[in-house]
Amino acid sequence: METQINEKIREIAQSVNEAIPVAWDNLYIGINLSSDGGGVYYFFNEEGKNEYIYNLYIPKQYSIPISEFKENERRTFRLAWELREIFQKEEQALWSSCTIKVLGTNLSAEFYYAPWNQSSFGPSALLKYFKYKYLGFEPRDEKELEQFKAMEVFQQEHNGN
């Protein structure tokens, strides 16, 4: 099972790499899945730069045809589902989110079990939390910081950390 998981993680990272039209230093891939859907998003920084670019900005920023971009997104989403299906086939606990990090040449993945779709935290809050946790995104104000802390507690409660 571990070999299958590692191979699928590499396939997801490769799929995302193929969608990025420039050389990059670091890549963070967020996957959120539940029984009724989900999504995959990612952020990368161009080689030698500090600013992270959100995947949805790729078509406009790099003049990539929307059809080509959407095809890449569908392929990556399919691979994410295949990763989750490995857990299901092996009768393992199903994760709700996964973060894949490619930092230089180091590839790693973290799995989380918090039922975000059953929480009061919506998709935009999850995206902001991801940016806060992995990209150094600063909260707008004290209220947003408190929300991030509450999200961290929620995630820890469901992961047994």
Q: What is the pTM of this model?
A: 0.94
Question: In 3D, which of 113, 138, 135, 116 has the Cα closest to residue 28?
Answer: 135
Question: In 3D, which of 155, 108, 103 has the Cα closest to residue 129?
Answer: 155
* pLDDT mean over 142-155: 94
In angstroms, how far is CA 15 from the centroid of its own chain? 13
The answer to whether residues 23 and 61 touch, using CB atoms and an 8 Å cutoff, is: no
Give one word for 89, left, alpha or beta, with left for phi > 0 and alpha for psi -120 to 50.
alpha
pLDDT single digits (tens) 83-112: 999 999 999 989 999 999 999 999 999 999
The tokens describing 79, both together, are 């691979």
Percent of the chain with pLDDT over 70: 99
Report how far residue 40's alpha carbon sits from residue 139's, in angstroms, rounded to the nearest whole number. 23
pLDDT single digits (tens) 107-131: 999 999 998 888 899 889 999 999 9
State residue 29's pLDDT score: 98
